[in-house]
Amino acid sequence: MRKITRRTALGLLGGLAAGGAGLAWANNVIPPLTWLSPKTGQPLLALNTIPLPRFSDGPTKIELKATLGMVDVAGTKANLYSYNQTIPGPLLRLREGEPVQLRFNNATQMHTNLHFHGLHISPEIDDPFRHGHPGEILAYNFTVPKGQAGTYWYHPHSHGEVASQLFSGLAGPIVIEGPLDRLPELAAAEEHVLVLKDLSVAGEDVAPYGIFEAGGKKGNWVMVNGAVQPVLTAKKATLRLRLLNACTFRYFRLSLEGATMHLIATDDGFIEKPVALKELVLSPGERAEVMIQLDRPGNFRLLDNSDLLMTIAAPAQPQPTDLPAKLATIETLDPASAKVTRQIVLTRSGNDFKINGQTFLMSRIDFKANLGDLEIWEVENQHSQDHSFHLHTFPFQVLSQNGTAPAYRAWKDTIAIAPRTKVRLAVPLRDFTGLTVFHCHLAEHEDHGMMGTLEVI
Ligand code: C2O
Ligand code: CU
Ligand code: CU
C-alpha cells in the first residue's frame, strides 16, 4: 500500500504551482491522509482456483467465506468485502454432472447469500430469496447441469444490497467443463478466465454510493482479475479467453487492436461455430468466450472503447494453431409452438426502476407458468437509458432484436437492451418448478425495483 502522508501531500502541492487555493489547503485542512492508487502493468494474475477434492464415492466439496477486511487488489490493499479474501472471488472449476456440496459461511455483519448466475439448477436451491444472516452458514447442494459447459459466476442476491455488495468485491467466476472442451483445437489453446470488474476506493474503503449514483455507479479502477491494465504474457499463440462482466453498471466494448476475436461461446455455452468479431459488447452479467490468434511477436492491446484494458504479449515466434470448425449443435426453438407470449416493459420514474409499471414485490407473483412450456417473452426498453435483462434458472434464445434475427443461434441468460428497443426471447421452461426471478442486471436498477417473479408449476 502506498500512503500519501500529510508531508508528501504538502511536497506534492509545493511541487505544483502553489496558488492561493493550494496554500489555504496547506494551512487548513488536508483531506484524507491516505490515498490508494492502483499499480498498472503488472502481470495478469491467474485466478485462485479452489482446489476441489474429488472423491469417487462422494460429492465435490467447496467452502466459500464472505468477509470484510484488507485484501490485495490492483497492486495495493483495501478494506473490501470478498470471498475467501480474494478479489475477484476464487474460480470454481466444475465438471458437467458432478455433485457439489458448497458451504457458504457469511462471516460478515450483513445479510448476504449466493446466486449461481446462469446455472440451470432448481430455484429451490439457487434461491434468490434466501437470507444469510450475519454469521450464518448456508449449504448449497446441487448437481452441475449437463450440456452447460461454459463460463458462469456467483454473486450475492440480497435484494436492495446487491449493487453495494457486488461493487465492493463479492463476485467470482465458475467454469463448467464438458466433453466439447476436449476438441483438439480447444485443448491446444492457452486458456484464461478474465473477470472484468470496476472499483472505486476512498481512503482504504470502497467508495460509498453517492446520492447521484442510485441509477448506477462506475468505478474508476477498471480491473482484469483484480489488476489495472495487466500484462498477459502468452506462452502459446492461440488463446481462449473466458470473459465475464462482473460490474454493477459498467458496459465493456472490447476489441483487440490488430487482431480478430472469434466468438466461440456466449452466456450459457458454446455456439455452433466460431464467429469473427471486430468488437464485443458485454453488459453487466454477460459472459463470452473468444479465441484469438497472435500472428506476430510483440504486444497486442485489448481495448475497452479506446482505453487500454490489458496488454497481451505474444510469444517470440508465434505459431497460431487452428480454430475449431464446428462446436455445439444448438436446437431450434419453434416460436409457433409457444404456449404463452408475455410483454415485459422496462421504465424508470425518478429512482423507481419498473417492470410493467411496478417495482419489485417479493410477495407478488408476476407470472405463473407451466413446466414444459415454451414461452415467448417480448422485452421492451421504453427508457432512454440502457438496461440488461436477466432471467434465472432458464436459459433462453434471442429470436430478434428490434425485428432483426441474430446472426447465429446461442443460449443466453442476460441480454443488453438498448434504449427504446425490443427483444423477443424464446424461453423453454424445462426441468424445474418453483419461484424464480428476472431482473435488470444493472445491479442498482435491480435494487431499485426492476425485478419480477416467475412461478413455474
Ligand atoms: Cu447475476 Cu439475479 O443475477
Ligand atoms: Cu442470475
Ligand atoms: Cu436497468
pLDDT tens for 326-365 read: 999 999 999 999 999 999 999 999 999 999 999 999 999 9
Query: Residue 252 has what pLDDT?
Result: 98
Q: Which residue has the cell 441468460?
A: 413
Residues 225-274: tens digit of each pLDDT: 999 999 999 999 999 999 999 999 999 999 999 999 999 999 999 999 99
What beta strand segments (E) does 84-199 contain?
92-95, 99-106, 115-117, 137-143, 150-155, 172-177, 190-199
The residue contributing the CA closest to ligand 1 atom 3 is: 117
pLDDT above 50 (res 12): no
Helix, strand, coil percentages, rounded to 5, for the chain: 10, 45, 45
Q: Which of 368, 372, 412, 365 is nearest to 392 (CA)?
A: 412
Ligand 1 contact via 287 beta carbon (within 6 Å): no
The residue contributing the CA closest to ligand 1 atom 1 is: 117
List beta partners, residue 416.
Answer: 388
Ligand 1 contact via 445 beta carbon (within 6 Å): no
Instruction: Give the pLDDT band (50/70/90) at residue 19.
Output: very low
Query: Residue 33 has what pLDDT?
Result: 43
Give the pairing type, strands 367-369 and 451-456. parallel
| Dist. CA 364 → ligand 1 center (Å) | 19
pLDDT above 90 (res 49): no
Is-contact 377 364, C-beta < 8 A? no
| One-letter-per-residue 3-state SS of 336-393 | HHCCEEEEEEEEEECCEEEECCECCCCCCCCEEECCCCEEEEEEEECCCCCEEEEECC
pLDDT above 60 (res 213): yes
Query: Residue 40 has what pLDDT?
Result: 93
Q: Which atom of ligand 1 is nearest to the CA of 437?
A: 2
Ligand 1 contact via 439 beta carbon (within 6 Å): yes
| Dist. CA 260 → ligand 2 center (Å) | 30
Q: Which of 295, 435, 257, 453 is nearest to 367 (CA)?
A: 453
| Dist. CA 311 → ligand 2 center (Å) | 30
The residue ranking higher by pLDDT, 28 or 213, is: 213
Q: Is this model's pTM higher than 0.85 or not?
A: yes
DSSP codes of every residue in 257-286: TTS-EEEEEETTEEEEEEEEES-EEE-TT-
Ligand 1 contact via 117 beta carbon (within 6 Å): yes
| Dist. CA 129 → ligand 2 center (Å) | 12
List beta partners, residue 417.
Answer: 387
Q: What angle do the packed helices 6-15 and 20-27 form, to 10 degrees? A: 170
| Dist. CA 249 → ligand 3 center (Å) | 9
